[in-house]
Amino acid sequence: MPEPEPPRRRKIPRNVWALSGTSFFNDISSEMILNLLPLFLANVLGAGTAVIGLIEGVAESTASLLKVYFGGLSDRMGVRKPLAVGGYLLSAAVKPVFLLASSWGVVAGARWADRIGKGVRTAPRDALVADSVASSNRGLAFGLHRAADTGGAVLGLLVAVAVVAQVQGDAPELGRETFRTLVLVSLIPALLAVLTVVLGVKERRGKTETDAPRIGFRGLGRRFAVFLAIVGLFDLGNFSDAFLVLRAQERGLGVEGVLWTLVGFNLVYALVSTPAGALSDRIGRRRVIIAGWITYAGIYLGFALAGSGTQIVALYLCYGAYYGLTMGTAKAMVADLVPARLRGTAYGSYHALLGVIDLPASLIAGLLWQGIGPWQGFGPAAPFYFGAATALAAALLLLAFPRDPV
Length of the chain: 406
Q: Is the dihedral of CA 293, 344, 55, 191 positive or negative?
A: positive
CA–CA gap between residue 213 and residue 344 (Å, rounded): 10
> Are the C-beta atoms of 67 and 73 separated by less than 8 Å?
no
Q: How far is CA 293 from CA 34, 176, 234, 237, 344, in A?
A: 25, 37, 8, 11, 26
CA–CA gap between residue 239 and residue 363 (Å, rounded): 8
Please report the pLDDT score of residue 9 as a whole number: 46
Please report the pLDDT score of residue 291 as a whole number: 93
Domain that holds residue 174: 14-202+211-399
* CA end-to-end distance (rounded Å), the chain: 41
CA–CA gap between residue 384 and residue 365 (Å, rounded): 8
Q: Is residue 105 part of a domain?
A: yes
Please report the pLDDT score of residue 146 as a whole number: 82
For 172-193, the pLDDT digits (tens) are 566 677 888 888 899 999 999 9
- CA-angle at 120, arms to 236 and 343, nearest 5°: 75
CA–CA gap between residue 72 and residue 355 (Å, rounded): 16
Q: What phi and psi, each to the nearest 5 degrees, are found at residue 327?
A: -65, -55
According to DSSP H, which parts of 173-241 are helical?
176-200, 222-236
* Helix orientation angle between 285-305 and 382-399, rounded to the nearest 10 degrees: 160
* Helix orientation angle between 104-131 and 343-370, rounded to the nearest 10 degrees: 150
Identity at 68, one-letter amino acid code: V
CA–CA gap between residue 264 and residue 217 (Å, rounded): 38
> Three-state DSSP class for 35?
coil
CA–CA gap between residue 404 and residue 397 (Å, rounded): 14
> Are the C-beta atoms of 315 and 302 separated by less than 8 Å?
yes
Please report the pLDDT score of residue 3 as a whole number: 38
Q: Is residue 5 part of a domain?
A: no
> Are the C-beta atoms of 60 and 359 separated by less than 8 Å?
yes
* Nearest partner of 298 among 273, 320, 315, 311, judged by Cα: 315
Q: Residue 26 sits in a domain of what CATH number?
A: 1.20.1250.20
Identity at 137, one-letter amino acid code: N
* Nearest partner of 139 among 129, 149, 148, judged by Cα: 129
DSSP state string for 115-138? HHHHHHHHHHHHHHHHHTS-GGGH
Please report the pLDDT score of residue 376 as a whole number: 61
CA–CA gap between residue 53 and residue 287 (Å, rounded): 32
> Are the C-beta atoms of 117 and 70 separated by less than 8 Å?
no
Please report the pLDDT score of residue 390 as a whole number: 93
CA–CA gap between residue 335 and residue 329 (Å, rounded): 10
CA–CA gap between residue 222 and residue 198 (Å, rounded): 36
Q: Is residue 384 part of a domain?
A: yes
Q: Is residue 217 part of a domain?
A: yes
Please report the pLDDT score of residue 297 as a whole number: 94
Please report the pLDDT score of residue 209 as a whole number: 52
Structural domain count, the chain: 1
Q: Is residue 6 part of a domain?
A: no
Residues of the chain with pLDDT under 70: 1-10, 49, 57, 60-61, 169-175, 205-219, 371-378, 402-406
CA–CA gap between residue 218 and residue 129 (Å, rounded): 23
Q: Is residue 92 part of a domain?
A: yes
For 218-276, the pLDDT digits (tens) are 567 788 888 988 998 998 888 877 788 888 887 888 777 887 888 888 889 888 888 88
According to DSSP H, which parts of 168-308 are helical?
176-200, 222-236, 242-250, 255-283, 285-305
